Structure 1
Amino acid sequence: MTNPYIALEGVSFVLPDGRTLFSDLDEQFDQQPTGLVGRNGAGKTVLARILAGQLQPATGRCVRSGSVCYLAQQVTPAAEACVASLAGVQDALDALARIEAGSIATEDFNVLGDRWDIGQRLRQELERNGLGHLDAATPARALSGGEAMRVALIGAWLSEADFLILDEPSNHLDRAGRQALIEQLRRWPRGLIVVSHDRQLLASMARIAELSALGLRSYGGDYSFYASSKAHDRRNALDQLEQSKRERKRKEQAMREQTDRQARRKARGDRHGQDGNQAKILLDRQKARSETSAGKLRQQQVAAREQLDERVRAAARQVEIDAPIVFAATPVGAGTQRLAELDAVALPFVPAATRDISLTLTRQQRVGVIGPNGCGKSTLLKVLAGQLQPLAGTFKVAAACVYLDQRLADLDPALTVLEHMQIANRIAPEADLRTRLAQLGLDTRKIMAPSGALSGGERLKAALACVLYADPAPQLLLLDEPGNHLDLPSLESLESMLRGYQGTLIVVSHDDGFMENLGLTDRLLATGQGWRLEPW
């Protein structure tokens, strides 16, 4: 199909609890590569699934011209899955094998279609994506998270769909994988929608569409254009709010003066009637007219005040849509100069090249850990956190240490966010904890819901809050891909907070922009010749 498109016509979606997630969305997606952005919890994944035909809207309709391939942000292969099934080509390979063995079954030819070279194409894509050590039969359980995502992306390419819809495809990919993804997307010849918070990936899109409480708005440009437009919109919204408040104040003053003038006229009329010795019936009529006039004025002023208040509320809503997310820095007490020491430590489950490491971490050192998927970055953090024992060597951690893993394993999906916060910090009053969470965009409804019911970004915010606001405050902070799933305003706020963090920081991330914004002192590189520590 030469010109695929997906069109939303008055689309709304209602959550199981009866809340409307979004409503009256009208938009058309064509062959322009489009990045879909929005705050955590805005409904981007739900919208992506509606666009892909996996969910039906409550009202309106979604029209698709051609086939759609949707790739979810969490790749969770079944226990028995292999590379071929993860790439979505197992059925075609099985049909091909049966045909080559002599099958003439119509269903086998229907399943295979014209993909007679599917085996060779899978092999070529694996080689092209640096996965030549895998084959079609490799068990999916043997893959790292990054490798599983890259295999799933290969499946999206091999689908030859008219439209690709990818939800956070760069999560868990290393630098080489992210760059390969961007280059591959540039070669994609048909329709493309990418849900992402990855600024580098969004910079390669032709346009950005933002989902918010105001609806779905398209920005005709890449991420830089979108960011500058949003900053301009926010300035205008703040100006409009101040203008609305000034107008309300001015008109309220005018209405008070109008009321005072009417009161003075009434007082003069009352005195004139008393002095003029008028008949009682005339005085009563005059009083009735005066009261009627005063009543009309009060009604007019009540309506005018309500209109002015609504203008202020509407202007405030525009500002609140872009209200900043706040990760507040927590003071860190003075501690020992040497916080952690690893002496000839052998890391488990990692390649020989990066198995052995000796490392000393000092107070206020800020280290970015860099290396490809599978080199042992996460394993190193788990050893420092005491969650894994080394195969050999000695290590000592002499500081309050908090570790956030990329799968949020410490976040019990059955507990509420507030309960998690109260476990992490048993001293702070509940009101203070609620305030901290509200600053992260987690309102009362969300912090009282089971954490497993939240979006990926909301769960990450909750986990970060438990780490950053723990008591005692951590002197050693270990973060493994803390930016995954965070919306762009939250990511920028986290960058700001971590810049101000006074303890020792070790962070693993494949997001170059994020790492550059943290004010790191050192980089710990995983190379083919081992680990190397150098100034940032």
Structure 2
Amino acid sequence: MHPHTNARTNARTNAHAHGQSPASLGCAGLRFGWPDGRLLFDGFDFAVSPGRTGLVGVNGSGKSTLLRLLAGELRPESGTVRVRGSLGFLAQDLALDAGLTVAEALGLDRVRAALQAIEAGDASEQNYALVGDDWDVEERTRATLDRLGLDGADLDRRVGQLSGGESVLLGLAGQLLRRPDVLLLDEPTNNLDRAARQRLYDAVDTWKGVLVVVSHDRELLELVDRIADLRSGQIHWYGGNFSDYEQAVEVEQEAAERMVRVAGAEVKRQRRELVEAQEKLARRKRFGQKMYDSKREPRIVMKQRQRSAQESAGRHRVMHQEKVADARERLSEAELAVRADPEIRVDLAATEVPAGRTVLTLRDVCPRYAPPGTSLTLELRGPERIALVGGNGAGKTTLLRTITGELPPLGGEVLPFVPLRYLPQRLDVLDDGLSVVGNVARLAPAAGDNAIRARLARFLFRGAGAEQPVATLSGGERFRATLAALMLAEPAPQLLLLDEPTNNLDLASVRQLATALASYRGALVVASHDLPFLRSIGVDRWLLLDGDGLSPSPAL
């Protein structure tokens, strides 16, 4: 058995045997790396007690991996994980079997069957054992589903009939029903509409146990008690919510930038002193040579003075060089403390759409799964930017897939007039077995390797980073790789369809994406619940998709 499994089991056993409380979660001396040799954690320590902890960090820093290690889904090379109490985990890439019923997905099917059998007169011991103390399980389940806005999710309904947001809420409902002492949430607001997000906020705000949440949702992070910032394989702790964290980081950065200025000035001073010392020694050397040439003193005395001058010059040179090296080292350390978020750059002239050119037409379209009689009409011209909004289950993803041709409509016409590309929520357009370079080459076979690498650098994949297998990328890195592959595909996309693009991005990456889209010259249709992001990309039209069809919506 793996060492961290022993620690987890023993901690739980001891906690229950001695009635210990409160719940807690932690790890010590954790070491973990990917098969490609990248070491993510080495001697890593982390501990949380009751309360709400927000885990933040740039994409690729290891937030999701850390949660999977704590949940036991990944095994570390060494170190221990300790959980006191029961543990629940809601993963970012929650994948529920579409063929399951809601009851089966929640793990209630056997208890329900036993209850129904007892009610029908089968009073077997096995049925009573299955029910245990859960006589009110159906009522409790429906109350939890109602609380999360899933009152329409009948227990016998198939998971495949739920929207992406409803699936996330169903996963959360499953965790709440199990009542874990420790709950880990990885990007729980992904795919959730405003109403669903508010319900999740309420659930988080009233949580009494240990909660660790990874999120880019600022409103959610405002509800936490502390922030754990994961940087370079180490945790940096900040008390308070996200606003408090930002203020603390701002103070840190101001101090770090002052240190850079001071260290830079010290490097210049030491360089200047080195030059002055060298000039002084050169003058002494010239004077000594002049004395030697004029033979004013005995030769043996002048030789001794020359050797002493050379030794002194050597000592002074080494001393000043060491001071310069020390000053440069202090400057490097100071620069490391300053955070710099690199920017994605998109400057592709081939994506430009002239103003007034018809890009897309929808004529009386009835998408699949839409109510009978649904009729959607839309005209998109020039480099227009459309925000597609609506509640979970309204059909936004289905409409985007209909525009791409992936789902033929039940009626009407979809007429795209320019090359288009679609960025789906699940980012499943890449081949996990290929590198980032290999995936771009697959979509742009005529482009040379050097040209692809030069373009990938704009998306922050440089050198060995471009050679990474897609399967090893973090959520944010995978997003950048997918965006790069679509943008660099041939022909260049003049219409870009984005489905919840900020789901897997940290806050810095959301800013990067907004900057990248600001320089994109084509047309955009973006389905998103992230209102701050939509406002940041210069939306021209807001369209609401609901049971009444597609209608203009006031700017949100």
SS at match of 1:507: strand
Alignment of 1:440-459 (within 5 A): 440-459=459-478
Q: Does 1:481 find its partner at 2:500? A: yes
Q: Does 1:340 find its partner at 2:360? A: yes
**How has the CA–CA distance of structure 1 residues 380 and 301 changed in structure 2, closer, same or farther, with 3 Å as cutoff?**
same
SS at match of 2:157: coil
The residue aligned with 2:125 is 104
CA distance in 1, matches of 2:364, 2:286: 95
SS at match of 1:18: coil
**How has the CA–CA distance of structure 1 residues 436 and 199 changed in structure 2, closer, same or farther, with 3 Å as cutoff?**
farther
CA offsets per residue over residues 463-522 of structure 1, 9 Å max, x none?
112233445543322111111101211101212332444432211001122122222121
Match of 1:326 among 338, 344, 354: 344
The residue aligned with 1:306 is 325
The residue aligned with 1:498 is 517
The residue aligned with 2:528 is 509
CA contact (8 A) 2:147 2:199 kept: no
CA distance in 1, matches of 2:334, 2:453: 26
- The alpha carbon displacement at 1:192 in A equals 0.6
CA contact (8 A) 2:436 2:468 kept: yes
Q: Does 1:62 find its partner at 2:116? A: no
- The alpha carbon displacement at 1:43 in A equals 0.6
The residue aligned with 1:407 is 426
CA distance in 2, matches of 1:37, 1:191: 17
CA contact (8 A) 1:174 1:371 kept: yes
Match of 1:377 among 371, 377, 396: 396
Q: Does 1:357 find its partner at 2:368? A: no
CA offsets per residue over residues 270-317 of structure 1, 9 Å max, x none?
332443454444344333323322332333234323322222222232
Match of 2:313 among 291, 294, 308: 294
CA distance in 2, matches of 1:12, 1:237: 29
SS at match of 2:284: helix
The residue aligned with 2:243 is 224
CA distance in 1, matches of 2:208, 2:47: 18
**How has the CA–CA distance of structure 1 residues 367 and 206 changed in structure 2, closer, same or farther, with 3 Å as cutoff?**
same
**How has the CA–CA distance of structure 1 residues 328 and 245 changed in structure 2, closer, same or farther, with 3 Å as cutoff?**
farther
CA distance in 2, matches of 1:116, 1:215: 46
CA distance in 2, matches of 1:346, 1:24: 56
The residue aligned with 1:129 is 148
- The alpha carbon displacement at 1:377 in A equals 1.1
SS at match of 1:42: coil
Structure 1 stretch 493-502 or stretch 208-217: which is displaced more?
493-502
Contiguous gaps of at least 5 residues in structure 2: 1-19
CA distance in 2, matches of 1:493, 1:508: 18
CA offsets per residue over residues 365-421 of structure 1, 9 Å max, x none?
221111122222122222222333222222322223222122223222222212333
Match of 1:255 among 261, 274, 295: 274
CA contact (8 A) 1:446 1:454 kept: no
The residue aligned with 1:215 is 234
Contiguous gaps of at least 5 residues in structure 1: none
CA distance in 1, matches of 2:347, 2:240: 35
SS at match of 1:493: helix
Structure 1 stretch 303-312 or stretch 270-279: which is displaced more?
270-279
CA contact (8 A) 1:461 1:486 kept: no
Structure 1 stretch 68-77 or stretch 113-122: which is displaced more?
113-122
CA distance in 2, matches of 1:215, 1:302: 34
Structure 1 stretch 158-167 or stretch 429-438: which is displaced more?
429-438
The residue aligned with 1:5 is 24
- The alpha carbon displacement at 1:534 in A equals 3.8
CA offsets per residue over residues 74-96 of structure 1, 9 Å max, x none?
11234654323422444555666
**How has the CA–CA distance of structure 1 residues 39 and 275 changed in structure 2, closer, same or farther, with 3 Å as cutoff?**
same
CA contact (8 A) 1:32 1:191 kept: yes
Q: Does 1:165 find its partner at 2:184? A: yes
Query: What percent of counterpart residues are identical?
Result: 35
CA contact (8 A) 2:264 2:331 kept: yes
Match of 2:415 among 384, 396, 418: 396
Q: TM-score, normalised by structure 2?
A: 0.87
CA distance in 1, matches of 2:328, 2:52: 41
- The alpha carbon displacement at 1:165 in A equals 0.5
**How has the CA–CA distance of structure 1 residues 315 and 432 changed in structure 2, closer, same or farther, with 3 Å as cutoff?**
farther
CA contact (8 A) 1:87 1:153 kept: no
- The alpha carbon displacement at 1:194 in A equals 0.5
SS at match of 1:33: strand
Q: Does 1:18 find its partner at 2:52? A: no
SS at match of 2:279: helix
Q: Does 1:269 find its partner at 2:288? A: yes
Tell me the amino acid that sits aligned with residue 199 of structure 1. Answer: R
Tell me the amino acid that sits aligned with residue 102 of structure 1. Answer: A
- The alpha carbon displacement at 1:167 in A equals 0.9
Tell me the amino acid that sits aligned with residue 261 of structure 1. Answer: K
Tell me the amino acid that sits aligned with residue 243 of structure 1. Answer: V
- The alpha carbon displacement at 1:58 in A equals 4.0
Structure 1 stretch 390-399 or stretch 178-187: which is displaced more?
390-399
CA distance in 2, matches of 1:293, 1:216: 48
The residue aligned with 1:182 is 201
SS at match of 1:217: strand
